[in-house]
């Protein structure tokens, strides 16, 4: 099934998902999902647990493989073409619920590893870059610590800074605040708001509807592997069209 790089249907959206379906064995986890994301757009994906949100965004950098439909990132199609996958992954940062930091490396080493290994940066340049992003997420003083010496909120900000050190054009967040104690959620959301204000293209899976209201250009509601409805936050929250969306919002708001 290896295919050569071919341009997407439009150079315009940085991400284009077109009629994407995916199965785990016989279980269909994604049903015909289409979604365009333009440069600088902020998309929030919400929906009940098990509705396919993680699977959806993991297909974008091919941590999961879809079986039908097409996904284009910057005009390159996500197939099993390894060269495309490498190119596309270089443009995409991902932040997970559980931070996924390397526990045996210091904060600074967590941040410099990627740039040194995959971008062939010299150690001193990688450290300068790392400190730049640690200042951005407001924890430069933690650079010499190990992840487990930090609070959850600090660890997640390190994870965000680590992604930013790869200077991605797109950031994917999968429930970045779900594992945090309530008092730490705000510091991580504030970091993400600043990132959004800097113009980063972002897809954020979250149940933080306050964040969705203030930051999102487009809110997508998933249920049972289907994109049930989507729209700008004023419409989505003010006048949801689908009964399932209303029921979900009633539960969480
Ligand atoms: P969400 O992120 O919305 O909670 P997921 O994308 O994680 O949803 O999962 C969607 C559905 O797919 C769930 O029913 C889940 O149990 C199932 N699923 C997720 N990962 C796998 C897997 N690797 N193998 C089989 N089923 C899976
Ligand atoms: Mg999930």
Which band of pLDDT confidence, cut at 50, 70 and 90, is reported for residue 12? Answer: confident
Q: Determine which of 33-37, 107-111, 217-221, 248-252 has the lowest per-residue pLDDT on average.
A: 248-252
Q: Is residue 2 within 8 Å of 8, Cβ to Cβ?
A: no
pLDDT band with cut points at 50, 70 and 90 for residue 2: very low
Answer whether residue 233 shows pLDDT above 50.
Answer: yes
Of the pLDDT bands very low, low, confident and very high (cuts 50, 70, 90), residue 202 is: very high
Q: Tell me the pLDDT band of 11, cut-offs 50, 70 and 90.
A: very low
What is the average per-residue pLDDT within 84-101?
94
Binding site membership of 50 for ligand 1 (Cβ less than 6 Å): yes
Categorise residue 105: left if φ over 0, alpha if ψ from -120 to 50, beta otherwise.
Answer: beta
Question: In this predicted complex, what is the ipTM?
Answer: 0.98
Centre of ligand 2 to C-alpha 48, Å, is 9
What pLDDT is attached to residue 6? Answer: 44
Distance 225 CA to ligand 1 centre (A): 9
For residues 217 and 231, what is the distance between their CA atoms, to the nearest angstrom? 8
Share of the chain above pLDDT 90, in %: 91
Instruction: Locate all alpha helices (DSSP H) within 95-200, ordered by sequence.
Output: 107-118, 123-136, 152-164, 182-197
What is the phi/psi pair of residue 73, to 5°? -120, 120
How far, in Å, is the centroid of ligand 1 from the Cα of 128? 39
Q: Which sign, positive or negative, has the C-alpha torsion 204, 208, 212, 215?
A: negative
Q: What distance in Å separates the CA atoms of residue 108 and residue 134, rounded to the nearest whole number?
A: 9
What is the average pLDDT across 106-131? 97
Phi, psi of 3 (to 5 degrees): -125, 155
Determine the Cα–Cα distance for residues 110 and 119; give it in Å rounded to an integer.
Answer: 15
* pLDDT > 60? residue 177: yes
The set of residues, in sequence order, having a beta carbon less than 8 Å from that of 19 and lying 6+ positions away, is 32, 33, 34, 68, 69, 70
Q: Whose C-alpha lies nearest to ligand 1, atom 24? A: 24
What's the token pair of residue 159?
């994870």
């Amino acid at each position: 099934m290896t295919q050569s790089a071919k341009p997407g249907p439009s150079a315009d959206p940085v991400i284009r998902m077109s009629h994407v379906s995916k199965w785990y064995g016989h279980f269909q986890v994604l049903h015909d999902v289409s979604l365009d994301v333009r440069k600088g757009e902020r998309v929030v994906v919400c929906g009940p647990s098990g509705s396919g949100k993680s699977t959806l965004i993991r297909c974008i950098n091919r941590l999961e493989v879809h079986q039908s439909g097409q996904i284009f990132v910057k005009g390159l199609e996500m197939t099993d073409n390894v060269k495309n996958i490498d190119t596309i992954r270089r443009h995409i940062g991902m932040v997970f619920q559980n931070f996924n930091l390397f526990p045996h490396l210091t904060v600074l080493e967590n941040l410099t590893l990627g740039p040194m290994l995959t971008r062939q940066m010299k150690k001193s340049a990688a450290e300068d870059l790392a400190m730049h992003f640690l200042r951005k997420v407001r924890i430069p003083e933690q650079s010499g610590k190990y992840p487990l010496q930090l609070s959850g909120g600090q660890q997640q900000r390190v994870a965000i800074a680590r992604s930013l050190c790869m200077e991605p054009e797109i950031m994917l967040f999968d429930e970045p605040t779900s594992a945090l104690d309530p008092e730490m959620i705000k510091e991580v959301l504030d970091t993400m708001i600043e990132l959004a204000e800097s113009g980063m293209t972002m897809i954020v899976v979250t149940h933080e509807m306050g964040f969705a209201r203030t930051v999102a250009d487009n809110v997508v509601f998933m249920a049972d592997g289907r994109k049930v409805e989507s729209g700008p936050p004023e419409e989505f929250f003010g006048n949801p069209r689908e009964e399932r969306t209303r029921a979900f919002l009633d539960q969480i708001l």
